[in-house]
Structure 1
Amino acid sequence: MTAALDGLARQRAAWRAGAGRVLAGTVVLTTVALLPWLSGSDAALTVLRARSGEQDPTPDALAAVREQLGLADGPLVLLTGWLGGLPRGDAGNSWVSGEPVLPQVTAALGVSLTLLSGTLLVTLAVAGLVCFRTVLLGSRRRLRHDRAGTGAAVLASLPKFLLASVLATACGVWLGWFPSSGWDGPASMVLPSLALGLPSGAMIGGLLDQSLPAAFSEAWARTWHAAGFPPGHTARHALHRALPGVLPQFVPTVVGLLGGAVAVEKIFNIPGLGRLVLDAAVSQDLPLLQTGTLAIILIGTAAGLLVRALRLALLGPALRDGGLPALGRPALPRRRSLRYVAGVCAVALVVLVVAGMLRDPLNVDTTARLLPPSFAHPLGTDSLGRDMVARLGHGALRTAVAALVVTAVSVLTGVALGLLPRAGAGLTDVAATLPAVLAGLLVTGVTGPSTGGAVLAVCLVGWSPYAAQTSALLEQERASGHIAAAVSMGAGRRHLLRRHLLPALVPALLRNALLRFPTAVLVLASLGFLGLGQQPPAPEWGRLLSENQAYAEIAPWTVLGPAAALTVLAVLATTVVRADGRMRLAGR
């Protein structure tokens, strides 16, 4: 009887999750269908200019375009007509080129999936290298505070488009090892996979590296070590114990690259799905945009289901063998070097801000364009002769505040939906794969380009990693033995949440938020670069990277300064909570 009830409950949960995915996908596709009307611009004019920039947009020409596209019928008729053709394999024709949409999306999807496979291999390799030392020492009971945390934070904070530019210039143009442009054979995917996989692998590896010491400090690991079990056997089970809480991060971190690697695809001239969707959104090519968005949603949902099945397969046996306690942060030996690193980073940022605030960030001097670092300009000047120290110092507060708002809102939203699985069932899988660029286009269609619109766009999709992590850790905690013991002793929901669940969730979520803090800065920068966020000439770190990217080869200081400032901020964020070598919550 109990087994039947459990099966019925699981079936209802699966139906709720499926309904949530369908509802979320429907909302996204409906919003995309409304883009020409939400933007407030003339879709016929946009399409006409995309077809030919030289054609005179006369009233007769615009009227002919509207009649040809059926804009007078309204978005509902266009959406239902597009949906009705999908079962027949007909996704319509492109509004710009007039070619069938489905072959274009299929070709771009094949390119993106191939690039994704290479990115996944790099991600796994880098993640393994980041946590290798912890696995090696933990299996031999020589646990020390992690040394890879700072290095992983630096690597995770590297801007993907900046890393792509460096790899394309150094390994593609100067050394000629791999193609620096185009998509022709396996060699073409090496550099883009490295540019996308190195930061992603550092983030995944950093999260896993922070969870492993707790697994090695649990009672079963100590018992196995005392009993003489081989270190490799203990290491495999420790990975088995720590992986379920980290696996959900693969969906937003790796699969999200299907639609989010626009900058890298542009640098390497790769005809991927993300670039196709972005170009369709800019030109308001509705059939192409809808079909590309649907492909991203379907791939993301399938990947989310696969990751969830793998996580449950790992979670069950790992927690049934003895009822392991909560996976918390162990008390590790203190390392003063982390305090020194945090102190040096804090001092460097303070000096940069103070020095920059004493200078004018908007002063244009065309006679001082692209000057190298000197006593007058310690970090050189940009293409308009503006002092880089001034622009970095004035942009520090704007950059940090916007990224903090995005991170805080995303964490709170993700935790709320993760703690309420019925409300967030299926929504996370869809939101995890939606590019922030696409969300930015939809938001600015209503609000117009602004910093607030960019922040809102990132928040709309930025909560999914935290919701996935909260749900995974919550399920892991509920399956552990100490929760069952507390329930058997009469503990209520509030007591379980306050004394058991939140103390287990908060440290892992905080580490994830700190690792993703630089990512929030870069996503905001990419929106500003596309004209959807912070508008020039206001200084902002990520935007400085974007607008100076073209001068990286002839004037590298224009990008090294913002990149170094961003890296220092990321290292400070990740080391400040590790300075004591442990994280403990009051009352646990």
Structure 2
Amino acid sequence: MAAALLCGIGLLPWLSRTDPARTVLEARSAERDPAPDVLAAVRDELGLDAGPARLLGQWLGGLVRGDAGHSWVSGGAVLPGVATALGASLLLMAAALTVAVATAAAVCARTLALGARRGLAGRRTGGAAAMLAALPEFLTASLLATVVGVQLGWLPALGWYGPRWLVLPALAIGLPTGALLGRMLDDALPGAFAEPWARAATARGVPGRRVARHALRRCLPGLLPNLGLFVVGLTGGAVAVEQIFDIPGLGRLTLQAALAQDLPVLQTGTLALVALAAAVGALARLAGRALLGPALRDGALASLHRDTAPGRGGLPLLYGALLLAVIGLGLARDPLAVDTAARLEAPSWAHPFGTDALGRDLLARIGHGALTTLALALAVSAAALLAGVVLGLVPRVSAALVDTANAVPAVLAGLLVTGVTGGGPATPALAVAAVAWAPLAAHTSALLRQERATTHLTATRALGAGRAHVLRRVLLPAVLPPVARHALLRLPSVALALASLGFLGLGAQPPSPEWGLLLAENHPYAERAPWAVLAPAAMLAVLGALAVTAAGGVRRPRPGRARRGDGAPATPGVREEGG
């Protein structure tokens, strides 16, 4: 998979249907005249006439000797530049991961406290964490840089010169990531507190903190693969944040190399991300096995994933009604009507969400753009769920695919898809779908590994159940609900990834009212007219709250009696895990 990715990157200049010599020349100096003799000299210098296979072979041959070549744009050695950028990204990742862990702890603190006191978890956290998880990183980064960095002057907003410059970008990346991680942990904790050991420990007077600590340890193995994916995503996927805060990180370096078609830098940066993903994935799997100890080998686990506790049924209806009301009101207006006399007007009765830089009504544009944005996000999420479950059921095949797919930022995937398809409205959906399945596959594999070590599965097999019966009646009913809830939790992230590609100009083009494009168009006016970016961001936050509160309704189906001809009798163990 990694080899195929590197080969695809090596073909990028030829797939993009552009002259790589012209692209490199423009990256070196935009004012230089691209005369035929000048372009011929560039081709001869870079060896472009030899073709992509020859160039890839030369790069791989040099890599074996510790030489990744020289940049086509700057002429400098590639390896030192990539190593410096990787160091900056790893430092930012460490700071963002600290913020993410603290945020996740805050999200599930109430569940841990209630479970420690009562032995059973109480209600899960609600829409606040969902809205936090749905905040676009680039918007959070822009607001932090503008308000905290420029207007208040509390922290530096641009540059990379010391620890103080870490704070704002780490907050911009870590807060949404921590909210999502906390929601996933909060989803698993009730099952841990409901296990017999937790009930017995509480009844015998074991201190609540100790019970909570063991419940946390019980849940972590299923989350560690996704935590590893978060680590890699924080390293290479923070492209927009690195752009806004002017951080010389690996994600930004890779994006700039992709835009300039600087193959040696792009290939080396991608290889660094793939190697990091493989190392982190292996460590996460080893840590998961170490936390569970011999229980995996001995088949002594109880099933962790039970029916979800009933949530507040009114919240999904409230968020859904709010979203539908905004869409309905917006559809009744013209999203393309331009009124230059009403440019950047504040919200009013005539324009409830204000107007943009051309005087177009933002409510109308958000309402019409919702149809495209939500349809794409739902379609990509459904495809990712299906692919994630299918590939997660065969972890020996999917492990390497997951690590490689997670190492590719959505922006780079967008550039590759653009090169193959030539761009268009479907580019963001194809790019995000190419990488969105990886977290769900990792989650499926982790849960499957634990479910295969449960005592009731051992009893089911002892009663003569075949593989098809075990998969259909035991494993899938235990694995599908938490993975489906995970997919719903990631629905806002999918919408954000689509918006990020639109923000970077790889998605829909003007005058489309797609939400990512709305954020990109109005981002330059965030300080003068904050409503222009806050309105679409607020709708993304409402979508996140709706997805998270609706996830509580995805429950494990009640097992019924075995049908005749199943090849195995109904097992009491399955009945026990259903309730």
> Same-fold call, TM > 0.5?
yes
Q: Does 1:30 align with 2:7?
A: yes
Which amino acid is 1:428 matched to? Answer: V
Contact 1:251–1:433 (CA<8 Å) still a contact in 2? no
Corresponding residue for 1:584? Answer: 556
C-alpha separation in 1, matches of 2:556 and 2:438: 26
CA contact (8 A) 1:131 1:206 kept: yes
Q: Determine the C-alpha separation between the residues in 2 that align with 1:240 and 1:414.
A: 25
1:280 equivalent to 2:257? Answer yes
Give runs of aligned pairs for residues 319-358 of structure 1, distance below 5 A.
323-330=300-307, 332=309, 334-335=310-311, 338-358=312-332
Report if the CA contact (8 A) 2:346-2:353 is conserved: yes
1:5 corresponds in structure 2 to none
User: 3-state DSSP class of the match of 2:126?
Assistant: helix
- Quote the Cα distance in structure 1 between the aligned partners of 2:306 and 2:151: 46
Matched with 2:364 is 390
Superposed displacement of residue 276, structure 1: 0.3
Shift of 1:143: 3.8
Residue 378 of structure 2 is aligned to residue 401 of structure 1: no
Q: Which residue identity lines up with residue 584 of structure 1 in the other structure? A: R
The residue that corresponds to 1:449 in the other structure is 423
Quote how far apart the aligned CAs of 1:317 are: 4.7
Aligned match of 1:48 in 25, 43, 56?
25
AA of the residue aligned to 1:415: V
CA contact (8 A) 2:501 2:516 kept: no
- Whole-Å separation in 2 of the counterparts to 1:119 and 1:521: 21
Counterpart check, 1:169 vs 2:143: no
Query: Does residue 1:439 correspond to 2:413, yes or no?
Result: yes
Question: How many angstroms apart in 1 are the aligned matches of 2:424 and 2:278?
Answer: 31
What is the one-letter code of the residue matched to 2:487?
A: A
Q: Deviations over 1:215-264 (max 9, x none)?
A: 10111111121222221221122111111111111122232122211110
Question: Is contact 2:115–2:122 with CA below 8 Å preserved after alignment?
Answer: no
> 1:149 deviation in Å?
3.5
Deviations 1:368-399 (A, max 9, x none): 11000111101000111110000011011111
Q: Distance in 2 between matches of 1:385 and 1:131?
A: 43
Of stretches 136-145 and 237-246 in structure 1, the one that deviates more from structure 2 is 136-145
Q: Indicate the residue corresponding to 1:18 in structure 2.
A: none
Greater displacement, 503-512 / 465-474 = 503-512
Q: Distance in 1 between matches of 2:428 and 2:422?
A: 10
User: How has the CA–CA distance of structure 1 residues 47 and 320 changed in structure 2, closer, same or farther, with 3 Å as cutoff?
Assistant: closer
Q: Separation in 2 of the partners of 1:302 and 1:563?
A: 35
Letter in 1 for 2:263: L
SS of 1:95's partner is coil
Equivalent residue number for residue 206 of structure 1:
183
Q: What is the aligned counterpart of 1:367 among 328, 341, 350? A: 341
Whole-Å separation in 1 of the counterparts to 2:160 and 2:520: 24
Corresponding letter in the other structure for 1:75: P
Instruction: Give the TM-score normalised by structure 1.
Output: 0.93
AA aligned to 1:426 is A
Whole-Å separation in 1 of the counterparts to 2:175 and 2:295: 29
After superposition, what is the alpha-carbon deviation per residue over 1:525-545, rounded to whole angstroms, capped at 9, x for unaligned?
222233322222111122212
Distance 1:532 1:299, change over 3 A: same
Q: Which amino acid aligns with 1:583?
A: R
Selected match of 2:174 from 185, 191, 197: 197
Moved more, 469-478 or 151-160: 151-160
Q: Match for 1:228 among 205, 212, 226?
A: 205
State which drifts further: 485-494 or 387-396: 485-494
Once the two structures are TM-superposed, the CA of residue 339 in structure 1 deviates from its matched residue by 2.4
What is aligned with 2:435?
461
Return the match for 1:494 from 468, 472, 479: 468
Name the aligned partner's letter for residue 97 of structure 2.
L
1:186 paired to 2:158: no
Call closer, same or farther: CA 1:446–1:320 in 2, change over 3 Å. Answer: closer
| Equivalent position of 2:489 in the other structure | 515
Return the match for 2:267 from 274, 290, 308: 290
Q: Are the structure 2 counterparts of residues 276 and 524 from structure 1 closer, same or farther at C-alpha, using a change threshold of 3 Å?
A: same
Secondary structure of the equivalent of 1:425? helix
C-alpha displacement of 1:145: 4.0
* SS, match of residue 426 in structure 2: helix
- Shift of the alpha carbon at 1:422? 3.1
Deviations 1:459-482 (A, max 9, x none): 111111011000000001111111
SS at match of 1:548: helix
1:473 and 2:450 matched: no
Q: Distance in 2 between matches of 1:168 and 1:545?
A: 16
Aligned to 1:73: 50
Taking the TM superposition and a 5 Å limit, the aligned residue runs for 1:74-113 are 74-113=51-90
Identity %, equivalent residues: 57
Q: Secondary structure at the match of 1:99?
A: coil
In structure 1, C-alpha distance between the alignment counterparts of 2:306 and 2:159, rounded to whole Å:
46
**Matched residues in 1 for 2:277 and 2:418: separation?**
24
* Matched residue SS, 1:146: coil
2:383 and 2:433 in contact (8 A); partners too: yes
Matched, 1:307 2:279: no
Deviations 1:72-100 (A, max 9, x none): 11111111111111122211111111111
Structure 1 contact 251–432 (Cα < 8 Å) conserved: no
SS at match of 1:139: helix
Q: Distance in 2 between matches of 1:173 and 1:281?
A: 31
SS at match of 2:267: helix
- TM-superposed CA distance for 1:176, in Å, is 1.7
Structure 1 range deviating more: 481-490 or 43-52 = 481-490
Rounded Cα–Cα distance in structure 2 between residues aligned with 1:98 and 1:340: 61
1:543 aligns with 2:520: no
**Could you tell me how far apart the structure 1 residues matched to 2:207 and 2:386 are?**
42
Q: Distance in 1 between matches of 2:384 and 2:92?
A: 28
| Whole-angstrom distance in 1 between the partners of 2:468 and 2:126 | 34
Could you tell me which amino acid in structure 1 is paired with residue 265 of structure 2?
L
Matched, 1:122 2:96: no
Across the two proteins, how many residue pairs are aligned to each other? 560
Deviation at 1:142, TM superposition (A): 6.1
The one-letter amino acid of 1:180's match is: A
Q: 1: CA distance between counterparts of 2:170 and 2:474?
A: 40
Aligned residue identity for 1:586? R
Gap runs ≥5 in structure 2: 560-577
Using the alignment, how far apart are the partners of 2:319 and 2:506 within structure 1?
A: 31
1:421 paired with 2:395, answer: yes
Match of residue 355 from structure 2: 381
Give the secondary-structure state (helix, strand or coil) at the position aligned to 1:426: helix
Q: 1:150 aligns with which of 113, 120, 127?
A: 127
Q: Helix, strand or coil for the counterpart of 1:490? A: coil
> AA paired with 2:477?
P
1:39 is matched with: 16
> Secondary structure of the equivalent of 1:463?
helix
Please provide the CA RMSD for this pair: 1.6
Kindly provide the CA deviation profile for residues 477-508 of structure 1, in whole angstroms up to 9, marking residues without a partner as x. Answer: 11111111111111111111122111111121
What is the rounded CA distance, in whole Å, between the counterparts of 1:312 and 1:144 in structure 2?
Answer: 25
CA distance in 1, matches of 2:422, 2:496: 20
The two structures have a TM-score, normalised by structure 2, of 0.94
Aligned-partner Cα distance in 2 for 1:225–1:436: 46
Any conservation in 2 of the 1:149–1:206 contact (CA below 8 Å)?
A: no
- For residue 261 of structure 1, the aligned residue among 232, 235, 238 is 238
Which residue, 206, 212, 218 being the options, matches 1:241?
218
